Chain A
Amino acid sequence: MRDITFTAAAREALTECMEADPAIFVVGEGIGPRGGNFATTLGLYERFGPLRLCDTPISERGFVGMCCGAAMTGTRPVVDFMFVDFILDAIGEIFNQIAKMQYMSSGRLKMPIVLRGCIGIGSSAATHHSGSYYSIFANIPGLRVAVPATPADAKGLLKTALTCNDPVLFLEHKNLLATKGPVPEQGEDAPIPFGQARVARPGSDVTVVALALMVRKTLEAAEVLAQEGVSVEVIDPRTVSPLDFDAILQSVRKTGRLLIVDESFQPCGIGAEIAARMADAGFDELDAPIRRLNGAFTPTPYSPTLEAAVVPTPEAIAHAIRDLMAE
C-alpha cells in the first residue's frame, strides 16, 4: 500500500487499461499534450500518441455523439469532459443514443464507453462548473453511474468502467482530486465491481449513507459524534446505478435509523430513492423517520459565504444525526 492522490489513482487505472486494450482512446479538451485540465491524462500523450489521446474542439455534443458511434464499431472511447456541466450539451446523445443503443439493438451492440469528469461544489467555481447530476443519470435505464470517494475506489471503479460493456458515468468530485489515500501497489489491486457499497466506518446507533465528498464530511461528523457516545455507521454506495440497497438495509437492520447525506438537490434525488425503498423493504426495521440532508435547491453561488451556505457541512451533518438520535 502507498498513499497517492485520487487523480493519480484514476490515472493509473486509465494507463494500465490503455496498455492492456489498444481499442481504448480518450477524447476531450486539452487532454493531449496538456495532460488534461485536472492532470487526468498527464504523460499519456507521449506514451500513446495523438490518435489515442485525441484533443477536441469545444464541441461537446459532437464528440460525445462521435464516441457513441465509435463504441458501436469496435473501440472503447473515454470522454474526459472536465466538468459534468459541459456535457449537458450532449444530454440527448447520452440519454437517447448511448443509453438506449444496447436495448434498441436487442443486445447485439455493446456500448463500452466511459464518460468521466468533475462534479461538485467548491472553490467558488460557480454554477456552470459545480453540477453533480448523478441522480438524473441514475434515472436513465442503460447507464451506470460511479461516484467514488477515495483514491482506491477511484482506481478500482475506473478499471471496472474500462472493462465493462455498458456506458459508465464516472464522476469525480473536484474537492476529492487532490486528497490522498491508501491504494494497493500496482499489480496487486483488483477492479471494484459496480453495485457494491463500502462500509466507510462501522457503527451501531445510526446509519448515514453518503456519496463522494460527503463521505469525508460525514466521517468528520462521525468522529465528533463518537466523542458524544453516538456510534455512526457510514455507508458509501460508490455507485448510484446500480445501487447496493441491500448493504443499506443490512446496516439499518442493525441501527434502526437512517440519514442520507447528498450534496445534490433533494427533489427526486438519490436520497428520495433510498428513502422510498427503505420505507418499502425496511419499514419494520426503522425506529425513527428517515431523514435527508441535501445541498440547497438552488443554482450554485460564487461568493464563498454563499457557496458555503448551500452544501452540507460536517457541523450540519452532526446536527442532523443528533436530531435523528433524538427521535
Chain B
Amino acid sequence: MMVTKEQALALYRAMQTIRQCEEGLARSYAAGLIHGACHTYVGEEAIAAGVCAHLTEDDAVFSTHRGHGHALAKGVTPRELFAELFGRATGCSRGRGGSMHLFKPEVGMMGTSGIVGPCILQATGAGYSFKLLNMPHVGVAFFGDGASNNGAFHEGINLAAIYQLPVLFVCENNQFATEVAFSYATRNTDVWKRSKSYGIPGVCVDGNDALAIFAAADEAVTRARGGGGPTLIECKTYRTRSHAEGMRDGGYRSLEEVEAWKGRDPLTRLAATLLDNGTVTQNELEAITQDVRATVEDAAEFAKNSPYPDGATATRFVYAEA
C-alpha cells in the first residue's frame, strides 16, 4: 500500500517513540525506578502504530499486559507513561495503575490489563455503544496469541459477529504466552483462520511489516465504520526482549531464533522501504529519531521529578464522585 509522506513519517515517529520509550523503561527498571511489572513491546511496534494510525480519539482501544505501545500510539504521552510506571501522581492513571492499568479515556485509551482476555469483550462492548448511539467509531482489542485460547476470544468475537459491531480484533501472535509456545497451546496456530468459524473476515499479516498492517487496518476500520462489522487481524510477530523486565530469557527459545527475529526489526524494515521508494529521506528519519530521543529523556526526567500521590487519597475513586 502506498502511504503519503506525512503518513509514513507519522508511522515512523510512532514506532520510534514506542521503541525508545521501551528501551528507556527497561533502563529505568534496571535502575530501580519502576516498582512493579514492566512488559516491553520491543519488536512489535509496527502493530500498534499501524492500527492506531487509523483511529481518532473517539475510537476506543482495549489492551493487554503488554500495552505500552498501544497506549503511546493512542495518545498517552511518554511523560504520562513513564510517570505511571514510576508510580507518580502525574502518571496517566495517577499512580493507581502501573504498567498493566494504563488509562487515558480522554483519548480513547481504555486500559491495559493484568488479565488476559477481557479486552476482547470490552472492545465488543464499545462497538455496541457506538452502534446504539449511531456513532461512526470503532472498538479495538489488542491481544496476544495466549488470549486466543481463552473463552473471551470465542464469546467476544461471536457477539461482535452476530450484532455486526464495529470492532477490530487484533491478535499479536508473538508465539509465546509468557514462555509457553503457541504451537504447544493449540493445534491450529493460524489464529486468523478461526474467523471463518464466526462468519467474519479474517486476515493474516506480517506483524513486523508496518505498511502491511497499516493497509490491513485501513480496510478493517473502513469496513467497521461503514457498518460492515468486525474483522480479525492476526499479526505474526515476536518479542525480542524477555517476557518481563528482570526475567531470564532462556530455556524456552534459542538465541539463534531471537537473533533471527531481530534481523526482521520492524523499524529498520520500514525505514529501508521508505528510503528505497523515495518516500522519505535519511535526514528526515534521523531528525525524528533525535527528536524522540529528547522526548524520552524529558519523559524520564519528568517522571523522576514528579511527586508520588498522597497516601491519604488511596481510597478515592472506588465509587463515582458526585
Contacts and interface: CB of A to CB of B under 8 A. Distances in A.
B320 interface: yes
A70 B152 contact: no
Interface of B: 60, 62, 93-94, 96-97, 101, 103, 105-106, 110-111, 113, 115, 118, 120-133, 139, 151-152, 154-156, 158-159, 162-163, 316-321
21 contacts: A61-B155, A62-B121, A62-B156, A62-B159, A63-B155, A65-B121, A66-B121, A66-B124, A68-B118, A69-B122, A69-B124, A70-B132, A72-B105, A72-B125, A73-B126, A96-B115, A97-B113, A104-B97, A109-B103, A110-B320, A164-B320
Contact of B125 (A51, A66, A102): A66
A107 interface: yes
A72 B103 CA distance: 11
A23 interface: yes
Contacts of B158: 57, 59, 62
Interface of A: 23, 25, 51-52, 54, 56-57, 59, 61-75, 77, 92-93, 96-97, 101-111, 141-142, 144, 164-166
Contacts of A62: 121, 124, 152, 154-156, 158-159
A39 to B, nearest CB: 24
A23 B134 CA distance: 11
A77 B133 CA distance: 12
Contacts of A101: 111
Given A57-B162, A72-B105, A75-B133, A103 B125 contact: no
A92 B105 contact: no
B132 A75 contact: yes
B320 A165 contact: yes
Nearest to A164: B320
A105 B103 contact: yes
Top 6 A-B pairs, shortest CB-CB distance: A69-B125, A65-B121, A62-B155, A69-B122, A165-B320, A107-B317
Most chain A beta-carbon neighbours within 10 Å: one of B115, B128, B159, B162: B128
Contacts of A97: 113, 115, 118, 122
A54 B165 CA distance: 13
Contacts of B127: 69
A45 to B, nearest CB: 15
B110 A72 contact: yes
Contact of A96 (B118, B139, B155): B118
B133 A67 contact: no
B111 A104 contact: yes
Nearest to B316: A107
Given A54-B163, A97-B122, A105-B103, A73 B320 contact: no
Given A72-B105, A103-B318, A59 B159 contact: yes
A69 B159 contact: no
B133 A23 contact: yes
A54 B62 CA distance: 23
Contacts of A68: 118, 121-122, 125
Contacts of B152: 61-62, 65
Nearest to B314: A103
A62 B132 CA distance: 18
Most chain B beta-carbon neighbours within 10 Å: one of A54, A70, A109, A166: A70
A66 B118 contact: no
Given A70-B129, A106-B103, 8 more contacts: A65-B122, A69-B129, A75-B133, A93-B118, A93-B121, A96-B115, A103-B96, A106-B94
Contacts of A67: 125, 128
Contact of A69 (B62, B151, B163, B319): B62
Contact of B111 (A70, A105, A142, A144): A105
Most chain A beta-carbon neighbours within 10 Å: one of B60, B96, B103, B132: B132
Contacts of B118: 65, 68, 92-93, 96-97
A66 B159 CA distance: 8
A64 B133 CA distance: 19
A108 B156 contact: no
A23 B129 CA distance: 8
Contacts of A74: 129, 133
Nearest to B150: A61
Nearest to A109: B105
Nearest to B121: A65
Nearest to A27: B128
B128 A66 contact: yes
B103 A107 contact: no
